[in-house]
Structure 1
């Protein structure tokens, strides 16, 4: 074991859950690296380093490796939200050996007699965790596990769920494995008024999780009215050609019934969808469909798109199904929006020749690259007496391009 680096899972924190393998190794290594919380586990070791900033600490670890073997202690199990991925990505030449440990997830599930093989595992500990991710997971999974952090506390979990996903049970485990361990459970409303130790883990139990529809949503599944709706066959092509991915931010301008917004939010739960609509009937319908399909990563905005441009988060994708006469100005202003890191993928759905002409002129012009268009002509069967005929619908043209980032002025 000379000059070897070990990453050692030390369990939730108490010495009683340190594995025999880990205990024996810590007695043999020449240096141990531990965060302040884990220092009591190795306070007897003659050569200890405090785990602080990763880069700074690893510089010292490399010097210690010149003299002998080093063990870095991590909470729980190294395979679950530890520094191991950072270490293998940034110091791969060190080739660490890994010793597994008992995770706090295992400890809490054991304490409440819960299995976790199908759990959704989320972390707000030094990682971004949005309300939408927590809500969508709690709606659709029997068990969601949240590793808490400085601003993603058990209180935040309970307050986020209360009033939006109430039919769940929240279980909070505090200071797991220590003598003052505490496990409390209740509804989000009951638990949101309590205070918790910062060292906590949360389980969200949903005994009747909602199952999202598989594949595309059928037209008949949406709440409908006289408001025009993008048909299901066209929606499928829109989603395919938008090319959404986790982290995408989609604006759906002229949302109508919300069918494109809901479909996008379901197809890509890790993206943000912002439905923009100014007609009162359409607004109400879009919100009803958002609630029906339980899309927490979808927000409905009231108003005309041009008036809302500066208040919406910077988009990565824009779909324009209806512009209320603002199409030309929208397409001219989108490339210059503040906060854009990359070009915006813009798609326009055109039924009228006027919309088609404006979209072609702008999207194939100097503000955009990669202009492309596809026209869909869909026919569906209809019974005519004893016969069946295919009845054609109005053709829909989908025009898309990538906006160019404005040139920076270096003068």
Structure 2
């Protein structure tokens, strides 16, 4: 028996390729979701078997060997774009079934055509039945196309953008693309967060505004500061190096102060998420100002005292502790309980804090590494320049080898 995995395009007959139509016309069995079986062309006389999950489709294909010489598995859009074909192909191979794959026109192509725009530079994200961080996705410097579905429709994704401070971001929603009731809406995230959209919808969000890319160690003067304590430039650069932040990392900045470390973490983990935990209201206001100043939209301020404020946060890959008000051991406990491999860096000035930091890490069997950073900066004095020393800072790290 010959097996073909065929993409039917956007759904309307006009978006189906001639190759796909020919395969469906010749098929003796067509397997697919109910919506696709209902949309089969009039010339298709094959037995229709409703199945959607890869294991169910596999079973239907194996059973078709008893009565069909050609079995077509129908998919919407394109077989290479977040398609169930990707899960079925290895199952067929494991069962000794060879399959031919026919591509189709995907929803991203349809929306790009409606807008008259190329899509080769878009970031493609599936929010169809999967967790999705919309704000982190738009921080990559490119427009982002979201395939939506389930609980995460266009309105829910736009609500995420609004929560991150991106309510003014330009977005486009495409509903029922290729069908007679097709609708394309161009608005802001704030407007679309209040909208109601068809189940068959996609979302295009433009790239979030962002400050020019900077190396770790942004100048202190670049931050909004006020009277709130701030981790200095050289210490931030060293801490980022110790933590080895990667794109996509989940980061905790505990005792975030002005958010200077949070900003650096957010820029380094650009498609990840940073939680800036700070108990003081005036400091949280500064964190929001600095988030906007640097376009660190993947950073979420969390007002509260650690470790209690950490309870609802996702498990971290990276933890920076700049201050805890006496709760350091509890913060380390919480981080390692959620993620035993989390990379931790603790900043300390007082010797007592240094001792407590090392003890908190070694209590979990980690080898605490201590680095002292002593920075001196020049200050003009008449026609001379004098070196003025800052307080030494200790960075205590665990899991950072």
Q: Shorter-chain-normalised TM-score: which range?
A: 0.7 to 0.9
Q: Which residue pairs with 2:395 in the alignment? A: 398
Contact 2:75-2:83 at 8 Å conserved across structures: yes
Distance 2:246 2:131 in 1: 17
Q: Which runs of 5+ in 1 are unaligned?
A: 404-411
SS in structure 2 of the partner of residue 185 of structure 1: strand
Distance 1:34 1:117, change over 3 A: same
Question: What whole-Å deviation, never above 9, does each CA across 1:303-332 have from its counterpart, x for those lacking one?
Answer: 32134343544444322112223334544x
Deviation at 1:108, TM superposition (A): 1.8
Distance 1:132 1:368, change over 3 A: farther
TM value normalised by structure 2: 0.84
SS in structure 1 of the partner of residue 119 of structure 2: coil
SS in structure 1 of the partner of residue 40 of structure 2: helix
2:240 matched to 1:242?
A: no
Distance 1:177 1:372 in 2: 60
SS in structure 2 of the partner of residue 124 of structure 1: strand
Question: What whole-Å deviation, never above 9, does each CA across 1:206-235 have from its counterpart, x for those lacking one?
Answer: 6x8445433233322211234332223322
Q: 1:110 aligns with which of 93, 108, 113?
A: 113
Distance 1:232 1:34 in 2: 58
1:32-51 superposed matches below 5 A: 32-39=30-37, 40-41=39-40, 44-51=44-51
2:124 matched to 1:121?
A: yes
Deviating more after overlay: 374-383 vs 286-295: 374-383
Q: Which residue pairs with 1:267 in the alignment? A: 268
Distance 1:92 1:354, change over 3 A: farther
Distance 1:41 1:379, change over 3 A: farther
Deviation at 1:198, TM superposition (A): 0.8
Distance 1:303 1:105, change over 3 A: closer
Q: Which residue pairs with 1:179 in the alignment? A: 180
Distance 1:391 1:65, change over 3 A: farther
SS in structure 1 of the partner of residue 366 of structure 2: strand
Distance 1:372 1:5 in 2: 59
RMSD of aligned C-alpha atoms? 3.1
Distance 1:15 1:244, change over 3 A: same
Distance 1:361 1:187 in 2: 50
Distance 2:397 2:102 in 1: 51
Distance 1:194 1:397 in 2: 51
Q: Which residue pairs with 2:352 in the alignment? A: 354
TM value normalised by structure 1: 0.83
Q: Which residue pairs with 1:61 in the alignment? A: 61
Question: What whole-Å deviation, never above 9, does each CA across 1:218-268 have from its counterpart, x for those lacking one?
Answer: 322211234332223322332232244455432212112211111111211
Q: Which residue pairs with 1:277 in the alignment? A: 278
Contact 1:368-1:402 at 8 Å conserved across structures: no
Deviation at 1:127, TM superposition (A): 2.0
Deviation at 1:153, TM superposition (A): 1.5
Question: What whole-Å deviation, never above 9, does each CA across 1:336-395 have from its counterpart, x for those lacking one?
Answer: 75xx25444332112222112222233223x23343333334455555666666655443
Deviation at 1:11, TM superposition (A): 0.8
2:224 matched to 1:223?
A: yes
Question: What whole-Å deviation, never above 9, does each CA across 1:109-145 have from its counterpart, x for those lacking one?
Answer: 21222222222222211222124335646xx43x332
User: How many pairs are equivalent?
Assistant: 393
Distance 1:83 1:390, change over 3 A: farther
Distance 1:232 1:127 in 2: 38
Distance 1:116 1:281 in 2: 43
Distance 1:92 1:114, change over 3 A: same
Q: Which residue pairs with 2:305 in the alignment? A: 304
Q: Which residue pairs with 2:144 in the alignment? A: 144
Question: What whole-Å deviation, never above 9, does each CA across 1:71-107 have from its counterpart, x for those lacking one?
Answer: 3222111221112332345555455432221112111
Contact 2:319-2:335 at 8 Å conserved across structures: no
Q: Which runs of 5+ in 2 are unaligned?
A: none
Q: Which residue pairs with 2:370 in the alignment? A: 373
1:307-346 superposed matches below 5 A: 307-331=308-332, 333-334=333-334, 337=337, 340=338, 342-346=340-344
Contact 2:307-2:334 at 8 Å conserved across structures: no
SS in structure 2 of the partner of residue 148 of structure 1: strand
SS in structure 2 of the partner of residue 369 of structure 1: coil
